[in-house]
Structure 1
Amino acid sequence: MRIALTAAMLASVLVAMSHTAFAAGDVKAGRAKATACAACHGIDGMSKLPEAPNLAGQTEEYLVKALNDFRSGERKNEMMSMMAKTLSDADVANLAAYYHSLGKQ
């Protein structure tokens, strides 16, 4: 019983910490960084190309995970892997905050 309670408390702390990390992105800095993304995903987060997804309104958690997966090679796409490798952790958080802030259009 005590182990289950400890595990539940640890899980709660980890969830709280993960939400804090996603909330740390700077929308203004993300918008500035997004100029490199605009050719495929549009400056408004609405894709101009059929093979590129819309990013406007996506959750920050999803965007952070996707970009980190491209950076690590866990998720594969030649263009995205190349672009994501140049991003810092702050860039990833900022881009996620920016695209999330656009809302679904």
Structure 2
Amino acid sequence: MKKITLALATAAVLASPAYAGDAAAGKAKSGMCAACHGVEGISAIPMYPNLAGQKEVYLAKQLKAFKDGTRKDPVMAPMAMGLSDADMANLAAFYASMK
């Protein structure tokens, strides 16, 4: 019974909107991303990935990996270093909201 209760409580917390990013705040922060990834999240340069329409969780996870060094990239690492957890969640929400 304790395991079921714990699982339900965990699911409720993870599904909470408090953990979702704010797309409007992400849009306001996205100016630094636009140079490589495009204003609409579609890159005009093939070596830079399109961000529009990617899964929010995936985008946030990648930004965190660049910041903590588990994913290495000489361009993205410095960009991610200045982002807070909220910034990363907001940027992820913004790009995930695009088509």
Over 4 Å off, 4+ runs: none
Cα 1:55–1:84 change in 2 (3 A) is: same
Give unmatched runs, 5+ long, in structure 1: none
- Tell me the number of residue pairs that the alignment of Structure 1 and Structure 2 aligns: 98
* Residues 56, 102 of structure 1: 8 Å contact kept: yes
1:55 paired with 2:51, answer: yes
TM-score norm. by structure 1 comes to 0.81
Which residue is equivalent to 2:93? Answer: 97
Query: Between the two proteins, what is the percent identity of the paired residues?
Result: 51
Give unmatched runs, 5+ long, in structure 2: none
TM-score norm. by structure 2 comes to 0.86
Measured in 2, the distance between the counterparts of 1:45 and 1:101 equals 10
3-state DSSP of counterpart to 1:94: helix
Deviations 1:26-67, CA, capped at 9 Å, x for gaps: 111111111100011001010122111111011111011111
Matches for 1:5-84 after TM superposition, within 5 Å? 6=3, 8-20=4-16, 22-23=19-20, 25-84=21-80
